């Protein structure tokens, strides 16, 4: 297939390339795409060197699939132009997630809803993806009434600027004002501020957890509240998720449902100090869940701890998995290539 990675020089774009390689996605022609200031730069893919091209050239090439990780404004402008030439766009920004005409997809949950008419497909937010992978089987079994979420999100989710800020601070340097991704130091600090504050005093990141969770689970009445915190951690996001169900449950039943769920790894042997951590999740494609225990303060309440690599399952891997599903189900057909 002719595959474009838009935003190829960014943190997620780079991981998208690695995931395509690792999962042996059938790429017959690779198009590395970025903004004008990156055109002409060289990138590596599958052992070959490519020069980055601009948006207009990429649209003219009419790729079969375009994996977008270039920001919401870029996606709003360019995704429709790719779609017009027949490209299926899988977009990692927030631009299309809450558009009622666009599918918001986590393959383990709702990929079956995709059709050939879906030319712009939204990849959910990183913190939402890992949480709903763990919640979906439980929602189906017991019905989720309310969620209380606290996230501990890796600075890598903010992008290259945050990584550079962290590295400077870790080495003992004070970044200049233009080098600061955050209002405060991130090294040896926790910042309860992910994305911008909204009129309701929640951050945009926190409200993504509210709205995206409801859309993916097709459950508009679930009550959701969240606090999102940026932490000085490589390797992934962690989430404390408190769930109130509509119906009673047994802990053993919960663990068995999680053990059998696609894309999940249950790590829950506290007697052996086994539980999910970013230390283990880094560079992995699965979602890890543990610390499963009944919430003794309410009826039908459950506590769980969810961890995943935010650059992989939280972004790049989920996008590539969507592309794999489209190919497997022949929603899109690969080009016939004569070698």
Catalytically active residues, by annotation: 126, 237
Q: Give, in degrees to the nearest 5, the angle at Cα 266 between 317 and 227.
A: 70
Cα–Cα distance, 204 to 209 (Å, whole number): 9
For residue 124, give the nearest of 95, 92, 154 by alpha carbon: 92
Q: Residue 32 burial (CB < 10 Å; 0-12/13-18/19+)?
A: buried
Separation in Å, CA 44 to CA 30, 47, 49, 50, 51: 10, 6, 5, 6, 9
Neighbours of 200 (CB within 10 A): 8
* CA 300 to chain CA mean position, Å: 29
List beta partners, residue 6: 33, 68
């Amino acid at each position: 297939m002719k595959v474009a990675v838009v935003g190829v020089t960014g943190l997620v774009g780079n991981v998208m390339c690695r995931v395509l390689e690792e999962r042996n996605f059938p790429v017959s022609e690779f198009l590395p795409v970025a903004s004008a200031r990156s055109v002409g730069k060289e990138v590596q893919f599958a052992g070959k060197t490519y020069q980055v091209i601009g948006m207009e050239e990429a649209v003219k090439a009419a790729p079969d699939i375009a994996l977008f990780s270039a920001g919401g404004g870029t996606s709003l402008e360019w995704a429709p132009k790719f779609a017009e030439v027949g490209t299926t766009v899988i977009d990692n920004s927030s631009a299309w997630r809450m558009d009622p005409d666009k599918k918001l997809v986590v393959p383990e949950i709702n990929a079956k809803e995709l059709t050939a008419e879906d030319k712009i497909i939204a990849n959910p937010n990183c913190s939402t993806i890992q949480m709903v992978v763990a919640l979906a089987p439980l929602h189906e079994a017991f019905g989720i009434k309310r969620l209380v979420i606290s996230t501990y999100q890796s600075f890598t989710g903010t992008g290259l600027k945050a990584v550079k800020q962290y590295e400077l601070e870790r080495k003992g340097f004070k970044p200049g004002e233009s080098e600061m991704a955050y209002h405060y130091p991130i090294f040896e600090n926790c910042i309860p501020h992910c994305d911008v504050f909204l009129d309701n005093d929640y951050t945009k990141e926190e409200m993504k957890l509210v709205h995206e969770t409801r859309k993916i689970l097709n459950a508009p009445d679930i009550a959701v509240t969240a606090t999102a915190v940026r932490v000085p951690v490589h390797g992934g996001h962690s989430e404390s998720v408190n769930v109130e169900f509509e119906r009673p449950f047994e802990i053993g039943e919960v663990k068995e449902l999680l053990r059998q769920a696609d894309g999940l790894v249950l790590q829950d042997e506290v007697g052996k100090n086994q539980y999910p951590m970013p230390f283990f999740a880094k560079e992995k494609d699965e979602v890890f869940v543990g610390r499963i225990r009944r919430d003794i303060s309410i009826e039908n309440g459950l506590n769980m701890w969810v961890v995943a690599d935010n650059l992989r399952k939280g972004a790049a891997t989920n996008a590539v998995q969507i592309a794999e599903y489209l190919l497997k189900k022949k929603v899109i057909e690969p080009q016939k290539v004569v070698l």
